[in-house]
Amino acid sequence: MQQLLNGLFIGSIYALFAIGFTLVFGILDRLNLAHPAVFAASAFVGIELVERAGLSIWLAIPLVLVFGGIVGLVVERVAFRPLKGRPDAHFAGLISSIALAGMVIALLQWRYGPDTRRFPAGSFPDTRLQIAGAQVTVVQVVILVVSIGLMVGLTLLVTRSRLGRGMRAIAENPNAARVLGVDVDRVTATTFAISSALGAVAGVLFAMNVNSAQLGMGTAIELKGLAVIIVGGMGSLPGALVGGLVLGLAEVFAVQYIGSSWRDLIAFGLLFAILLLRPQGLFGARKVRQV
């Protein structure tokens, strides 16, 4: 039971991170590799807000969400928009977002130094809950609730709202969407903002979960995020959710039943096996490449 919950907590963070990743990919067909840097930056910003401004961590989460959104706008403006007219815009955007990620990490190092940073002692309520014999902290419950809440909210936004319709129209065909009166630039920018906001919240939640933020934390989760969105089906939101949870649980149960040294091998092997069985991913639609 404890292990199941451990898997759910870490899996929900993977999912939240991957959903931001896959949103941009699914709608705009762009891979934003500045996403892991936003993840790391927001963890540091979250800690700064609690430490310097003395805010409670509960208030820090929505502020980090806003911070992430703003960074998302910057990423789109700097790394993607200037290149969108190029014939190799996919690849160029990929590279320029890596460059931007490097700059963000360099800025973080300049501002915060190389050390691991932590929330000041006493920022978390140390109440422990007993759930079916498992020890759970309030923070972990909050992580799960916030992650699931944001993912549900995003799904509603994409399926129900006017903005969501715009996003889906662009995903289908950007030119047609423009002809039909969708403000493509605005929707694109908003998509980046939402994506980064989710990545940012994932970052601060991750930092809360393990009470530490490191410069390399984005790189560590980047590969997992990519694995999750590929397994879930590129661009599929429910796929990223399920993929994240599957990866979290796979890691936990690999440790429990096979051995801690085999964790990554088992977890990634499992993902690989899924891909062999369903090359399009769990929730991906089989696409015929247009020539």
Name the minimum Å distance from CB 36 to another protein: 14
Q: Contact region for another protein (CB under 8 A) — 28-36, 146-154, 208-216, 271-279?
A: 208-216
Q: Which of 19, 198, 255, 267 binds another protein (CB under 8 A)?
A: 255
> Which of residues 260 and 290 has its CB atom nearest to another protein in the complex?
260
Q: Check residue 228 for interaction with another protein (CB under 8 A).
A: no
Burial 197-233 (b: 16+ CB within 10 A, else e): bbbbbbbbbbbbbeebbbbebbeebbebbbbbbbbbb
User: Residue 225 interacts with another protein (CB under 8 A)?
Assistant: no
- Give 9 or 283: the residue with its C-beta nearer to another protein: 9
Work out which of 127, 159, 161, 261 binds another protein, going by CB under 8 A.
261
Does residue 135 touch another protein according to CB under 8 A? yes
* Opening angle at CA 19, ends 241 and 197, nearest 5: 135
Q: Quick one: DSSP state of residue 87?
A: T
Binding of another protein at residue 128 (CB under 8 A)? Answer: yes
Kindly state whether residue 227 participates in binding another protein, applying the rule CB under 8 A: no
3-state secondary structure at position 134:
strand
Kindly calculate the radius of gyration of the chain based on its CA atoms and give it in whole angstroms.
19
Whose Cβ is closer to another protein: residue 23's or residue 247's? Answer: 247
H-helix or E-strand containing 136? strand 134-137
Given 62, 216, 269, 279, the residue binding another protein (CB under 8 A): 216
Q: Are 41 and 153 in contact (CB under 8 A)?
A: no
Between CA 131 and CA 38 the distance in angstroms is 33
Q: Provide the mask over 95-114, with x wherever binding to another protein is found by CB under 8 A and - wherever it is not.
A: --------------x---xx
Q: How many whole angstroms separate alpha carbon 83 and alpha carbon 170?
A: 18
Write the single-letter amino acid at 133.
Answer: G
Q: Which amino acid is at 195?
A: S
Rounded Cα distance between 148 and 105, Å, is 28
Residue numbers at the binding site for another protein (CB under 8 A): 2-3, 6-7, 9-10, 109, 113-116, 118, 121-122, 128, 135, 137, 209-212, 214, 216-217, 220, 251-252, 255-256, 260-261, 264
